Amino acid sequence: MTVVAFANQKGGTGKTTLLMNVAAALHHCGRRVAILDADPQGTASRWSQANRQQPFPVPIHPAGRSAEEVTKAIKSARRGVDLLLVDCPPSVEGEETRAAVSVSDWVVIPVAPSPPDLWATRGIVHLMAALPNKGSRRHGLLVANRVPPRSALGRDVLELLAEFEFPLARTAIGARAAYAQAAALGCSVLDLKRADAACAEIQALTEELLSHIDGARP
Ligand SMILES: Nc1ncnc2c1ncn2[C@@H]1O[C@H](COP(=O)(O)OP(=O)(O)OP(=O)(O)O)[C@@H](O)[C@H]1O
Ligand SMILES: [Mg+2]
């Protein structure tokens, strides 16, 4: 069982968006996956309830506010699943993020490809280094999100990324209306018509995450 937290100190970097879409893609490829909503904003829970006729395909569990409650919720949500994805609030000081990162094997860190966003990413990287590991090594994966169409990552951004000890996912996620549309409809981009580019990049990111997870297993 692998716990993957989606975290970053900065708000609005795409933590919930990537988590919901990757969760649906994992479900589509037959993985037993669940989501834990550790963000008091409750965005993931609202997203999953947006369409009462067709519920989101992945079960989603609420988490409490204290470290103790989050840790307990993670323990019970992980039963019977291969992967538990934990949506964190935009904070590294909050108890929810600390509790989630403490028990995570992997932390996915969505970043907008701009220097201010990358500077803000140092907070989560420091937190990961500061928290004791639960036994095996905790890994990080940076994911460039909201990359403008036809723009390669700039040289300045790539230079800043080299400062981090974590790899950058080869798959960059584009800035696309399909992501907001999926949230509004309570589904993932995989369920949308005319969202081929978004589907392809979410599937590629999911495969990449799985190969990192499988490759890091002792
Ligand atoms: N790749 C993308 N293309 C277009 N819009 C995006 C993309 N990723 C996220 N968004 C939009 O950006 C906004 C913030 O995304 P999201 O809620 O996933 O960020 P977050 O990091 O979870 O925010 P918070 O820190 O508040 O929890 C949302 O309106 C979402 O639809
Ligand atoms: Mg969020």
Give residue 136's pLDDT.
67
Is 62's C-beta closer than 6 angstroms to any atom of ligand 1?
no
Residue 135 has pLDDT above 70, yes or no: no
If you measure from the C-alpha of residue 70 to the centroid of ligand 1, how many angstroms do you get, rounded to a whole number? 23
Is 158's C-beta closer than 6 angstroms to any atom of ligand 1?
no
Give residue 50's pLDDT.
95
Which CATH entry fits the domain spanning 2-211: 3.40.50.300, 3.50.50.60, 1.10.3720.10, 3.30.70.270? 3.40.50.300
Name the residue with the closest Cα to ligand 1, atom 15: 14
Sequence-ordered list of residues with C-beta below 8 angstroms from that of 21, at least 6 positions apart, any chain: 179, 182, 188, 189, 190, 198, 202
Please identify every residue whose CB atom is under 5 Å from ligand 2, which is an ion.
Answer: 15-16, 43
Residue 113 has pLDDT above 90, yes or no: no
Q: Which residues on neighbouring strands pair with residue 144, listed in sequence order?
A: 111
Is 145's C-beta closer than 6 angstroms to any atom of ligand 1?
yes
Mean pLDDT in residue range 28-57: 95
If you measure from the C-alpha of residue 74 to the centroid of ligand 1, how many angstroms do you get, rounded to a whole number? 24
Is 113's C-beta closer than 6 angstroms to any atom of ligand 1?
no
Residue 191 has pLDDT above 80, yes or no: yes
Sequence-ordered list of residues with C-beta below 8 angstroms from that of 50, at least 6 positions apart, any chain: 183, 184, 185, 186
Give residue 64's pLDDT.
83
Domain ranges of the chain: 2-211
Name the residue with the closest Cα to ligand 1, atom 20: 12
Per residue in 138-153, pLDDT (tens digit) is: 899 999 999 987 766 7
Per residue in 150-184, pLDDT (tens digit) is: 766 777 777 788 788 899 999 999 999 999 999 99
Is 173's C-beta closer than 6 angstroms to any atom of ligand 1?
yes
- Is the CB of residue 22 less than 8 Å from the CB of residue 205? yes
**Which of ligand 1's atoms lies nearest the C-alpha of 183?**
31
Is 11's C-beta closer than 6 angstroms to any atom of ligand 1?
yes
Give residue 58's pLDDT.
97
**If DSSP states are collapsed to H, E and C, what string results for the chain?**
CEEEEECCCCCCCCHHHHHHHHHHHHHHCCCCEEEEECCCCCHHHHHHCCCCCCCCCCCEEECCCCHHHHHHHHHHHCCCCCEEEEECCCCCCCHHHHHHHHCCCEEEEEECCCHHHHHHCHHHHHHHHHCCCCCCCCEEEEEECCECCCCCCCHHHHHHHCCCCCCECCCCCECCHHHHHHHHHCCCHHHCCCCHHHHHHHHHHHHHHHHHHHHHCC
The CA distance from 216 to 194, in Å, is 35
| Closest ligand, as measured to the CA of 175 | 1
pTM to 2 decimal places:
0.96
- CA torsion sign for 154, 25, 40, 6 is negative
Distance of CA 43 to the CA centre of its chain: 13
Is 121's C-beta closer than 6 angstroms to any atom of ligand 1?
no
* Half-sphere exposure of residue 6: CA atoms within 13 angstroms, side-chain side: 29
**Which of ligand 1's atoms lies nearest the C-alpha of 39?**
27
Per residue in 76-97, pLDDT (tens digit) is: 998 899 999 999 999 999 999 9
Per residue in 60-80, pLDDT (tens digit) is: 999 988 889 999 999 899 889
